[in-house]
C-alpha cells in the first residue's frame, strides 16, 4: 500500500480535540525565553515538536550544535542515547530529555559482557559503535560514528579488523564500501528500518514509475540494493533538495517529511509503508512544556562519562 504525505497528518490530528497547539507552543516559547533554553529536535520527532525547536537535525549535527552552543540548558527532543551524548560532551550543561523512557531498541540489543568477550577475542580490532548506543557501550569503544560520517571515519581507521555495533545493516553497508577490511558485526538492528519490505517498494515504484528511491543504510541489503541513493537522514534531505527529480520514495522514518516538504514544497514524497519509530514519537508538546518547568536533567556517572567521551571526541575529530 502506498502512503502519500502521511507524516504531515497523522501526528497533528492528535491535537485536533481538547489541546490547542498554538497555546502550548506559545507557552513553550515563553518558558524557553525565561529559562534561556535551547530546544533541539531530531528529524524523526512529531512535526509540531519540530516546529517549536530552535534547531532540527540528525544526531551528529545536533550533538555538534549542542556542544558548540553557549546555552547552558538544553531540551533534547529525541531518544535517550542522543541526550546522553550531549551530556557526555558538555557535562557542565543541564541536558533534559522530555520523555525519559524514550529509548532505542537497537541500542538495548548490546550486551556489555559479550562485547568485552568479543574485544578479548579480536584484540587487534578497532571497536566502532554507531552513536545509537548507550553511554556504557560507548565507554567500551574506540570511536563512535553516525550514518552521516561513518564512511569518512572508517576510511581513517588503520586496523584491518573492525568490531562494529550494534547495527548489522549499517555495518554491512560499510563492509561493502571497504572490502579490504574485515567487519565483525553485532547482530543488532533498527526495528523501524528492519520492517521495510521489498514488495512494498516494488508496488510503490510500479505506481510511481519515475520516483527515485532514497534509502537509509539501516535497512537490509535487499532493500539497499533497490536504492537510487543511500544516505543518512540529513543526506536524504540534501539529495532530494538538490535533485531535479520531482517524485521520491523515502525509505526512512516518516518524521523526515516535515523537513523534506519545507525545503521542497513543489516535490512529492511517498513512503512504501508505515515507518514510524514509537520511541521518537513519544515526545509531545506537553512533555516539552513540562520538561521546561520540572527540569529533570540527564545524569551520568563521571567515570563512565570520561571513557565514553573519548569515543565521541574521536568521532568529532575524525569527521572533520
Same domain, 120 and 186: yes
pLDDT at 158: 96
Same domain, 182 and 314: yes
pLDDT at 266: 97
Residue 9 lies in a domain: no
Overall domain count for the chain: 3
87 Cβ partners below 8 Å, 6+ apart? 93, 95, 297, 298, 299, 300, 305
Residue 5 lies in a domain: no
Same domain, 314 and 186: yes
Residue 4 lies in a domain: no
* pLDDT, tens digit, 9 for 90 and up, residues 264-316: 999 999 999 999 999 999 999 999 999 999 998 999 999 999 999 999 999 99
Same domain, 304 and 179: yes
pLDDT at 302: 97
Residue 7 lies in a domain: no
Domain span holding position 264: 196-271
In order along its 320 residues, the chain shows pLDDT tens digits of: 344 434 333 333 344 444 577 789 999 999 999 999 999 999 999 999 999 999 999 988 998 999 999 999 999 999 999 999 999 999 999 999 999 999 999 999 999 999 999 999 999 999 999 999 999 999 999 999 999 999 999 999 999 999 999 999 999 999 999 999 999 999 999 999 999 999 999 999 999 999 999 999 999 999 999 999 999 999 999 999 999 999 999 999 999 999 999 999 999 999 999 999 999 999 999 999 999 999 989 999 999 999 999 999 999 999 98
Burial classification of residue 245, based on how many CB atoms lie within 10 Å of its CB (0-12 exposed, 13-18 middle, 19 or more buried):
middle
Residue 49 lies in a domain: yes
Same domain, 79 and 137: no
Residue 213 lies in a domain: yes
Same domain, 247 and 213: yes
pLDDT at 13: 37
Same domain, 220 and 164: no
Same domain, 214 and 287: no
Find out whether 77 and 310 touch, Cβ atoms under 8 Å.
no
pLDDT at 60: 86
Same domain, 267 and 226: yes
Same domain, 75 and 123: no
Residue 86 lies in a domain: yes
Same domain, 167 and 203: no
Mapping DSSP onto H, E and C, the string for the chain reads CCEECHHHCCCHHHHCCCCCHHHHHHHHHHHHHHHCEEEEEECCCCHHHHHHCCEEECHHHHHHHHHHCCCCEEEEECCHHHHHHHHHHCCCCEEECCCCCCCCCCHHHCCHHHHHHHHHHCCCCEEEEECCCCHHHHCCCCEEECCCCHHHHHHCCCCCEEEEECEHHHHHHHHHHCCCCEEEECCECCHHHHCCCHHHHHHHHHHCCCCEEEECCCCCHHHHCCCCEECCHHHHHHHHHHCCCCEEEEECCHHHHHHHHHHCCCCEEEECCCCCCCCHHHCCHHHHHHHHHHCCECCCCHHHHHHHHHHHHHHHHHCC
Nearest 5°: CA angle at 128, between 126 and 129? 160
Residue 122 lies in a domain: yes
Amino acid at each position: 500500500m502506498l502512503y502519500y504525505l502521511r507524516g504531515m497528518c497523522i501526528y497533528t490530528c492528535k491535537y485536533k480535540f481538547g489541546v490547542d497547539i498554538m497555546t502550548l507552543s506559545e507557552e513553550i516559547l515563553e518558558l524557553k525565553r525565561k529559562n534561556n533554553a535551547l530546544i533541539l529536535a531530531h528529524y524523526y520527532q512529531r512535526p509540531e515538536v519540530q516546529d517549536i525547536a530552535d534547531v532540527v537535525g540528525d544526531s551528529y549535527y545536533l550533538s555538534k550544535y549542542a556542544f558548540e552552543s553557549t546555552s547552558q540548558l538544553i531540551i533534547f527532543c529525541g531518544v535517550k542515547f542522543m541526550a546522553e551524548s550531549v551530556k557526555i560532551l558538555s557535562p557542565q550543561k543541564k541536558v533534559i530529555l522530555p520523555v525519559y523512557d524514550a529509548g532505542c531498541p537497537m541500542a538495548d540489543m548490546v550486551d556489555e559482557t559479550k562485547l568485552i568477550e568479543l574485544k578479548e577475542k579480536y584484540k587487534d580490532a578497532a571497536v566502532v559503535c554507531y552513536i545509537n548506543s548507550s553511554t556504557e557501550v560507548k565507554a567500551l569503544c574506540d570511536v563512535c560514528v553516525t550514518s552521516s560520517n561513518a564512511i569518512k571515519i572508517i576510511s581513517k581507521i588503520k586496523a584491518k579488523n573492525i568490531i562494529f555495533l550494534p547495527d548489522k545493516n549499517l555495518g554491512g553497508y560499510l563492509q561493502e564500501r571497504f572490502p579490504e577490511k574485515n567487519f565483525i558485526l553485532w547482530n543488532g538492528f533498527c526495528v523501524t528500518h528492519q520492517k521495510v519490505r521489498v514488495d512494498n517498494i516494488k508496488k510503490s515504484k510500479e505506481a510511481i514509475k519515475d520516483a527515485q528511491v532514497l534509502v537509509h543504510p539501516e535497512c537490509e541489503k535487499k532493500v539497499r540494493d533497490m536504492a537510487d541513493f543511500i544516505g543518512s537522514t540529513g543526506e536524504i534531505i540534501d539529495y532530494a533538495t538538490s535533485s531535479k527529480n520531482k517524485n521520491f520514495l523515502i525509505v526512512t522514518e516518516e518524521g523526515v517529511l516535515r523537513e523534506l516538504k519545507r525545503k521542497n514544497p513543489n516535490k512529492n514524497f511517498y513512503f512504501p509503508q508505515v515507518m514510524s519509530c514509537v520511541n521518537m514519537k513519544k515526545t509531545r508538546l506537553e512533555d516539552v512544556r513540562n520538561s521546561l518547568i520540572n527540569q529533570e536533567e540527564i545524569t551520568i556517572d563521571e567515570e563512565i562519562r570520561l571513557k565514553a567521551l573519548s569515543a565521541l571526541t574521536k568521532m568529532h575529530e575524525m569527521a572533520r
